[in-house]
Amino acid sequence: LLQLYGPLNFLGSVYSAIRTALVDLEHMLGLTEEEVEVADPAHPLPIATRLQVSAPARVAFRDVHFGYRPEREILHGISFEVEPGRKVAIVGTTGAGKSTISRLLFRFYDVWSGAVLVDGHDVRDYRQADLRAAIGVVPQDTVLFNESIGYNIAYGRLGATPAEVQHAAQLAQIHDFIMSLPEGYETQVGERGLKLSGGEKQRVAIARTILKDPRVLVLDEATSALDTHTEKEIQAALKTVSARRTTLVIAHRLSTIVDADEILVMAKGHIVERGTHAALLAQNAVYASMWAAQGGESGQET
Ligand code: ATP
């Protein structure tokens, strides 16, 4: 019986990791208790998943129309492109359709018309599991499970070596914090262990994503403001993970996206303005007034 315990325990951990991964994704995407009906193609195209072994991905939305229910269209013809390794940010009022765009990228739903493309192919041409392996997400609020902090990071890529986990933690700027804990990487976290702060949890999420090494990254920025020091550290860690990676940011604080290659300003399912930070300020319209409302140059908080 004792001999069985090891493998069973391991299987339990894997199960728990998979469940938590799904919880994270559902949480970020706001998918709760919802049946989503999308089917895998009969002859799926292969897709490279890790950046380390492949080039960054190209992402495009082509005249996408979509709604959750037939009587209400939410996105009214959305087109944009994120070139390999570039960063596009989406901003806009609440309910504008920002998260809906990330849900369509993950293909949690199918578009009504138009297409979502990754590497020039319709996301409907890939196996869903492969597509989601190629896309990493740093959610607003990370779900931790009752395991060691090392394991909580490692499940970004089950099978990563302890050295790889540590390297990811260093890049995410959480290694020093972990080493200051009495049991280091073995410290139990979660409901029955050490409680982590919002900023620490986010760094765990960043470390996981660094390990996963996806070719596309979706950052769902937290609405709640962190203190300025933590915010700076998180931004630095996010810069590391998004460097050279095709990145889509759903942003709330404009100060974090001034360096984006393109900013899409959304309202009621339309892109009403688009351009770089400087170009949008020069237009002196919607984005410029959002920037002014957030305090302009010194603006940090929403
Ligand atoms: P926020 O900044 O508040 O997160 P958002 O721009 O991300 O907003 P979405 O979450 O994309 O907005 O929602 C766009 C619209 O779609 C909203 O009117 C919302 O009510 C609706 N919507 C979102 N999810 C669903 C759903 N599962 N079923 C039906 N309608 C939905």
pLDDT tens readout for residues 2-32: 555 555 555 555 555 555 555 556 555 555 4
For 32-91, what is each residue's pLDDT tens digit?
445 557 899 999 999 999 998 899 999 999 999 999 999 999 999 999 999 999 999 999
pTM of the model: 0.85
The single residue listed with the structure tokens 């050295």 is 163
Task: Give the whole-number percent of the chain exceeding pLDDT 90.
Answer: 66
Tens digit of each residue's pLDDT (9 = 90 or more) over 89-138: 999 999 999 999 999 999 999 999 999 999 999 999 999 999 999 999 99
Residues in the chain: 302
CA of 148 to the centre of ligand 1 (A): 35
Mutation test residue for ligand 1: of 33, 37, 71, 74, the one with most atoms within 8 Å of CB: 74
- What pLDDT was estimated at residue 4? 56
Measured by CA distance, the residue closest to atom 18 of ligand 1 is 95
Q: Which of 1, 156, 89, 146 is nearest to 290 (CA)?
A: 89
Counting from 1 in the atom list of ligand 1, the atom nearest the Cα of 92 is 6
CA distance 75 to 112: 10
Of all atoms in ligand 1, which is nearest to the CA of residue 103? 11
Q: CA 266, 264, 283: angle at the middle one, nearest 5?
A: 95
Report the mean per-residue pLDDT for the chain: 87
pLDDT of res. 240: 87
Give the model's pLDDT for residue 301: 42
User: 97 C-alpha vs ligand 1 centroid, how far in Å?
Assistant: 6
Nearest to 156 by CA among 209, 79, 217, 228: 209
- Ligand 1 center–CA 74 separation, angstroms: 8
Does the CB atom of residue 136 touch ligand 1 within 6 A? no
User: For a substitution probing ligand 1, which of 33, 64, 93, 99 has the most ligand atoms within 8 Å of its CB?
Assistant: 99
Q: What is the pLDDT of residues 192-228, one digit of tens each?
A: 888 898 889 999 999 999 999 999 999 988 766 677 7
Q: Is 108 left (phi over 0), alpha (psi -120 to 50) or beta?
A: alpha
